[in-house]
Structure 1
């Protein structure tokens, strides 16, 4: 809580140096601190009003905390107090309430600072009328008269007297300690968040690796089914084959309802090739993920007890959280986000299912390239060119993968075709389309190129 009445009196007695000084400037500083620059003959004093409960006080500042942009309260104080002359600095006899009495032109102004534990407050009184308060209260009615709260019971004051300079140094040390703990808490919070991310990535990669290891099983089933294609009926949904790799035992293979036996064989071979090619990449990424998780875990353990200076070396591990913009805009909302491909071509990404339809029907031409993550919900992507340039196609496919529900997979298939081959069925739900033909490209949703694309995106 704030300083005692006797200590506050010592600080106010020292602040009497500011009497007859003129307030030239008022600034807001971190830690709920306002600094009034008071010009007296020969020097400028910094009259400090701190409302930070552990170190709340009104005093002459020895050091200044970091400056902050002016808020509404600061603007109000500037309006009423800049240019005013300080006539008196008083402390209530029975409570920690400071009265800074001033005159400005023909106006009598009093800034009242209530250092009441957790109930820190500022009140402005002009010509005996209450005109503003930082924290409104039922006893503080604008246009009325200021009423001080009931003073606390009197208690014996047995504190040892210390100088104002010593008190201010004590308060500054407390502020520094508080800032150190806040800094430690922020770093620990950030490292915990990154550690959680690292463990989640490892879990996803281990799952992908298990699937990749199973690729040989996909090929085995495909080989067995392929060998039996000539002996099957067209609509047969299951096939019993001889498993040459398992003591010639019989093996029953179920064929998905939406595929023919031949199509299922082709699908199994495609899956096998994709998983086999991805296995090395997954193993490489998994090794790096293990190393990163171990490094973050070490930082997390050390950050709990190391000095504030040593904390700095772990900050580079913390990625900034996305900041939500509070700025209102009057710009017409477009149904897409826009990015730039390797050759400078525009790449449009639908914002929602409804926006996917609007973007395709109103902002795409027939020869433009349409892309979508295969078998995953996600945004439609339009590559604004008829050219099938591979670098641009990969850029667009990376964005299609990123803006899909499958973005955490190690590899992802993306379907692409020209816009003129896309049809919207009558009565279909938003974003649902039919594709006539189409090709597939496989990308890594975590490829470093993605960060470059996202960094120069528009409309996000």
Structure 2
């Protein structure tokens, strides 16, 4: 399900229960399109996220940590001026559209009370967040300013009169009657007539109508169904989120007590990967070019290696021509000779311009050339394959590391010579302990490397020889150390689940994880960061479990 009008309706109800009457105590803009309002409500601080991201636009209460930029944006400065300490009067939805108004009451420097509306329009790439002065209906400021040349329908600059986005002239399903659903044949017709109904809701309503059920009863009971159960579903091999458990959906991953927690779980990886991509776009582009060249080189090397298989045949031809030299007539283009190793006849092509002796030496020369090329081809194949595996591991790590770990990966690439080193004053050095720390249910510490340099330090320098090392089998991932010489089975399984989670197989099931003691691991001379070889390992199958990983994570802040 997308963040459609039905989900917006549900979210507005949840936010009114949670934040209505609260006071705004802090305003941040951690990313270009995202705003965080800290609201003091019911004796605790809640983070209200308003996102105008082109792909992840939404509003919700979130528990995810966000860093506060050192320099606030112009939009944040405007918000702090007008609505710091404002009281949240309530949340309103425009009909059943994805437009939400947050009514605010704030005092100015003289103590006079003024009314403002913080409006979020969830419209894909046109999503926006506005602060509107209710007395004048003018835009105080907005998160995305658009010049008149790029938008002729309405003004999208501070000082412009606020106008609602273009209406679709559809009916609000929450004000509909049973007659309004008559003559609607399928889900498409339902979406065409009613506002804010997405694919999954229209499919559910179509199914209800096919079974002679009452669609109005479903809509009227929608809010009660949400309060009873909030589900996160896996449907048709695609991860999706739903406010309720629809009858025509299957493969439930998990239930969450609030819609905010549901969205945190759903968007966690998507938003994180998107932010990392923004920060490392030029780097990943460069690595992808190198990777493409390396893979092409490996194909050529393998082709050359395949061609060397004919060298024994060339050697045989040289031997036979030398042995039967007297039978060869000068100027012949070919000759049939008996192979004295198996008594089979062999047809050998000849150069008519060469003497019999020169023809034999020509085959010996080709044999030696191919024979001498094999060590070079194998050496280049090993070097290039190791580089491909290394670059694959770096690109894979960007899929599962946190945003704060990106600097470590950039430093690793600088040390390895893949990107140019920045001047020392261009990046602030952060003194940081190696790896992410976890603790199993039985109290054993687990440490996870977050880049290949950390993996090397963790495995080859910091880990004790009798501790256990874990890594996904044959897939790029982090090195994981279980700090025990005799771990219980539960701790091994939990450490293996962590290893599977911090790998390219994060979204898979039944992931094979190798484990063995550190003493059985060694690093070849000159090997790329993170590359080790080992023997005597055992393998177990585990599922990467985010909930388990979050539960076992040690808070080091």
TM-score where L is the length of structure 2 = 0.37
Higher relative contact order (CA 8 A, sep 6+): 1
Computing the radius of gyration over CA atoms, which structure comes out larger, 1 or 2?
1
